[in-house]
Structure 1
């Protein structure tokens, strides 16, 4: 299993990462399975550059990570984040606000 960075405990990083609609759409696409940048760009009708930029922000926030697969890089939701969503029934509650990952925008 690929090594992931420790999850962020500061909700500010997570809120910043999820404050962009494209990043929310990327998270939604990665919830069921991992994807490469090109797959995400095609599926979400975004440029490869923008997908890469958004994935970098999500990775820094501890939401996604990647592993190499041949010449590709496959991105996935980190285990800790996925477990937290499962435990909280697909809702991330910060007290001041919450994200319902079962109702993210398309």
Structure 2
């Protein structure tokens, strides 16, 4: 049963657009409009992808005035250095460099 959360994380990250959203939100919390502009994707599609990332507990969203700001779930930043663009899923860890297409992961152990 301990592997089930990891499966939902990996399914949510299996889409390139969601991968790019996670990378952008790792840099700083962002609104749907900011993500749509940064990634060149419609607001509708960003919202759809954010729903999937929220359902997998990768992204958290909070209303700030008129805007809803999305950020990485702080639990996924455990054992990650300050300023490092990475998430720790427990089952594995994903690191991002300056390129949005870069993917590196490591398994524990």
Same fold (TM over 0.5): yes
5+ residue gaps, structure 1: 1-7
- Larger helix share, 1 or 2: 1
Seen in structure 2, the aligned counterparts of structure 1 residues 33 and 104 have a Cα distance that, compared at 3 Å, is same
Q: 1:21 aligns with which of 9, 16, 20?
A: 16
Equivalent position SS for 1:31 = helix
**2:107 corresponding residue in structure 1:** none
Equivalent position SS for 2:27 = coil
Q: Which has the higher contact order (CA 8 A, sep 6+)?
A: 1
Normalization by structure 2: what TM-score?
A: 0.75
Normalization by structure 1: what TM-score?
A: 0.77
**1:38 corresponding residue in structure 2:** 33
5+ residue gaps, structure 2: 103-109
Counterparts of 1:49 and 1:38 in 2: how far apart (Å)? 10
Equivalent position SS for 2:17 = helix
> Alpha carbon RMSD of aligned pairs, Å?
2.5
Q: Compute the displacement of 1:99 (Å).
A: 3.5
Tell me, yes or no, if structure 1 residue 53 matches structure 2 residue 48: yes
**1:4 corresponding residue in structure 2:** none
Counterparts of 2:100 and 2:66 in 1: how far apart (Å)? 31
Q: Would you say the 8 A contact 2:77–2:87 is kept in 1?
A: no
Q: Compute the displacement of 1:91 (Å).
A: 6.3
Q: 1:105 aligns with which of 82, 97, 101?
A: 101
How many residues were matched structurally?
Answer: 95
